[in-house]
Structure 1
Amino acid sequence: MATCRYCNNSLIIGQSTCSNWECQSFRATACNKVLKCGHLCGGIKDESQCLSCLYWCTTADMTSLKQKHDDVCVVCYSSPISAAPSIQLTCGHVIHFHCTKSVLAARWPGPRITFGFTLCPICQKAMEHPLLTDMLTPIRALYEEVKRMALTRLIHDGLQDTESIRTPGSQFYQDKAGFAINKYAYYICFKCQKPYFGGEARCEEQDVVENHKKEDFVCVRCSQTNIKICAHGVDHLEYKCRYCCSMARWFCFGTTHFCTLTTQF
Structure 2
Amino acid sequence: MQQFQQFQEPDFFVCSCGFNCHYKSEKEMELHIDQCPVYSGYSDFMKYIERKDIQNANIDQLRVMKAEAKVYLSRLEMMLMIYSQQQPILQKAPSQTVQCEKCHKQFEANSDFDKVWYLENCSHILCKDCMLKICKEDFFKKKSNVTCICGERFKDAEIKQILGNELYEQLTEKLNLSLQNIIECCHCKERFCFLKGNINEKIQDQNGKLVQGEQLEHYIENRFKCSKCHTEQCKNCMSVPYHTNMTCEQYKINKAAVKCRLCDQPTEIQKNLPEALQTICQQQECQNRAKVLCTNKLKCGHFCQGLKNTPCLPCLNEKCASDQNEDDYCNICFTEGLKSQPCVQTTCKHIFHEDCLKQKLYAKWNGPRIVFNFMKCPLCNQFLDIKVPHFQKPIEEGLALLKEVQELCLQRLKLEEKEKDKELLDPTHQFFQKPLDYAMHIYCYYLCFKCKKPYFGGLKNCQQAADQDPKVEFKQEDLVCTKCCPLLTLEDKCNKHGVDFIDFKCRHCCSIALWWCHGTTHYCDPCHRNIKTNMTKPCPGLGKCPLGIPHKPNGQEMSLGCSLCRAERLKAK
TM-score, length-normalised on structure 2?
0.42
Q: Residue type of the partner of 2:446?
A: Y
Q: Which secondary structure state, in structure 2, belongs to the residue aligned with residue 29 of structure 1?
A: coil
Residue 242 and residue 24 in structure 1: after superposition, are their counterparts in 2 closer, same or farther (change >3 A)?
same
Q: Residue type of the partner of 1:112?
A: R
Confirm or deny: 8 A CA contact 1:208 1:260 kept in the other structure: no
Uncovered stretches (5+) of structure 2, i.e. residues with no partner: 1-256, 272-277, 536-573
Deviation string 1:56-88 (CA, Å, 9 cap, x unpaired) is 655xx63xxx31222111111111111211111
Deviation string 1:185-233 (CA, Å, 9 cap, x unpaired) is 1111122222111111111241499333322211100113651233433
Q: 2:519 aligns with which of 229, 254, 260?
A: 254
In the TM superposition, what are the counterparts of 1:55-94 in structure 2 within 5 Å?
55=317, 62=322, 66-94=323-351
Confirm or deny: 8 A CA contact 1:184 1:200 kept in the other structure: yes
Residue aligning to 1:138: 397
Residue 12 and residue 211 in structure 1: after superposition, are their counterparts in 2 closer, same or farther (change >3 A)?
closer
Q: 1:21 aligns with which of 284, 298, 302?
A: 284
Residue aligning to 2:260: 4
Q: 2:353 aligns with which of 88, 92, 96?
A: 96
Q: Which secondary structure state, in structure 2, belongs to the residue aligned with residue 144 of structure 1?
A: helix
Confirm or deny: 8 A CA contact 1:37 1:57 kept in the other structure: no
Residue 159 of structure 1, CA deviation: 2.5
Q: Residue type of the partner of 1:197?
A: F
Residue aligning to 2:303: 40
Q: Residue type of the partner of 1:152?
A: Q
Q: Residue type of the partner of 1:80?
A: G
Residue 119 of structure 1, CA deviation: 0.8
Q: Distance in 1 between matches of 2:477 and 2:524?
A: 16
Q: Residue type of the partner of 1:254?
A: G
In the TM superposition, what are the counterparts of 1:159-170 in structure 2 within 5 Å?
159-167=418-426, 170=429
Q: What is the identity percentage for the equivalent residue pairs of Structure 1 and Structure 2?
A: 38
Q: Distance in 2 between matches of 1:112 and 1:77?
A: 25
Q: 2:409 aligns with which of 150, 158, 173?
A: 150
Residue aligning to 2:91: none
Residue aligning to 1:187: 446
Identify the structure with bigger relative contact order (alpha carbons < 8 Å, sequence gap 6+). 1
Confirm or deny: 8 A CA contact 1:165 1:174 kept in the other structure: yes
Residue 193 and residue 16 in structure 1: after superposition, are their counterparts in 2 closer, same or farther (change >3 A)?
same
Residue 180 of structure 1, CA deviation: 1.8
Residue aligning to 2:494: 230
Given the alignment of the two structures, is residue 210 of structure 1 paired with residue 472 of structure 2, yes or no? yes
Residue aligning to 2:457: 198
Q: Considering only aligned residues, what root-mean-square deviation do their CA atoms show, in Å?
A: 2.3
Residue 253 of structure 1, CA deviation: 3.1
Decide which moves more: 17-26 or 228-237: 228-237
Q: Distance in 1 between matches of 2:396 and 2:527?
A: 38
Residue 167 and residue 35 in structure 1: after superposition, are their counterparts in 2 closer, same or farther (change >3 A)?
farther
Residue 164 of structure 1, CA deviation: 3.6
Q: Distance in 1 between matches of 2:326 and 2:427?
A: 39
Residue 173 and residue 10 in structure 1: after superposition, are their counterparts in 2 closer, same or farther (change >3 A)?
farther
Decide which moves more: 117-126 or 236-245: 236-245
Residue 171 of structure 1, CA deviation: 4.6
Residue 175 and residue 46 in structure 1: after superposition, are their counterparts in 2 closer, same or farther (change >3 A)?
farther
TM-score, length-normalised on structure 1?
0.88
Residue 168 of structure 1, CA deviation: 5.7
Residue 103 and residue 171 in structure 1: after superposition, are their counterparts in 2 closer, same or farther (change >3 A)?
farther
Uncovered stretches (5+) of structure 1, i.e. residues with no partner: none
Number of residue pairs matched by the alignment:
259
Q: Distance in 1 between matches of 2:325 and 2:425?
A: 41
Deviation string 1:141-178 (CA, Å, 9 cap, x unpaired) is 11111111111112222233544445567554554333
Decide which moves more: 31-40 or 130-139: 130-139
Residue 121 and residue 172 in structure 1: after superposition, are their counterparts in 2 closer, same or farther (change >3 A)?
farther
Q: Residue type of the partner of 2:522?
A: H
